[in-house]
Amino acid sequence: LALLPPVLVPHSGVLLESHQDLAPLTIPTPSPSWQSPTVKDLIGFGLQVALGMEYLAQKKFVHRDLAARNCMLDEMFTVKVADFGLARDVFDKEYYSIRRHRHAKLPVKWMALESLQTQKFTTKSDVWSFGVLMWELLTRGASPYPEVDPYDITRYLLRGRRLPQPEYCPDSLYEVMLSCWAPAPEERPSFSILVSELERILASLKGEHYVNLAVTYINLEHDPPFPPMACARVPRPAAKRPRRAAPIS
């Protein structure tokens, strides 16, 4: 096996046992020195994931199932990008069959629009999923689009609807998330750009972003820790209103 960076966990049954001390990113194990995350902690976790995905992109690998449930956290709070094939069993309700592919269960609420339409995955579809992962982090593990039926998600996204800005999410970070959800894949940032953007955002955080959040991570099976919010829309050019024809005299 090629040497892997610390933020990647190799997929191997032989190596699984040595990583049993890792916890899912959405359910960290409390410790005396670290009880609840700050906004800075959450963005830092996202930066670690972006670094791992940057490495995968450089090696021409496509993850296809990037989500918080497939990222692990060790006792030193180092994030490991992984996919042990276990998440589909543990979080089975997050995977759904698309009508045209009834036998293939897919994480539709994390999938890019073009992947929902064609079942094709690229690094830019991983970028879309990364935006959803960042939203998961800033909501402390809420499930995306809880009000949308999985079979309606494609039509929902085609209307320009997107996930809302989380309560504690800086505006600059939400702009990064929205860029990950651009309808056209070529309009989305690369993981190298995402790494730079997250580093810039982390460097700009002020004192209020260091305060421990009152609500820590929750299991994805639980209700969101905040009331329903209106989803954001991707801005579109204003349509011109047609002129009325003058009456014939």
Q: What is the mean pLDDT of the chain?
A: 75
126 catalytic residue (yes or no):
no
Q: Which CATH superfamily is domain 13-226 in?
A: Transferase(Phosphotransferase) domain 1 (1.10.510.10)
The whole-number pLDDT of residue 140 equals: 87
Burial 13-50 (b: 16+ CB within 10 A, else e): eeeeeeeeebebbbebeeeeeeeebbbebbbbbbbbbb
pLDDT of residue 116: 93
Of these residues, 21, 41, 65, 126, which one is catalytic? Answer: 65
pLDDT band at 127 (very low <50, low <70, confident <90, very high): very high
Q: Is the pLDDT of residue 153 over 90?
A: yes
Residue 11 or residue 204, greater confidence: 204
| Residues 163 and 129 sit within 8 Å (Cβ to Cβ) | no
pTM of the model: 0.74
Whether the per-residue pLDDT at 198 is higher than 50: the answer is yes
Band (pLDDT 50/70/90 cuts) for residue 119 is confident
pLDDT band at 26 (very low <50, low <70, confident <90, very high): low
In the chain, where the domains are located? 13-226
Distance CA 18, CA 237 (A): 53
Task: Give the pLDDT mean for 116-127.
Answer: 92
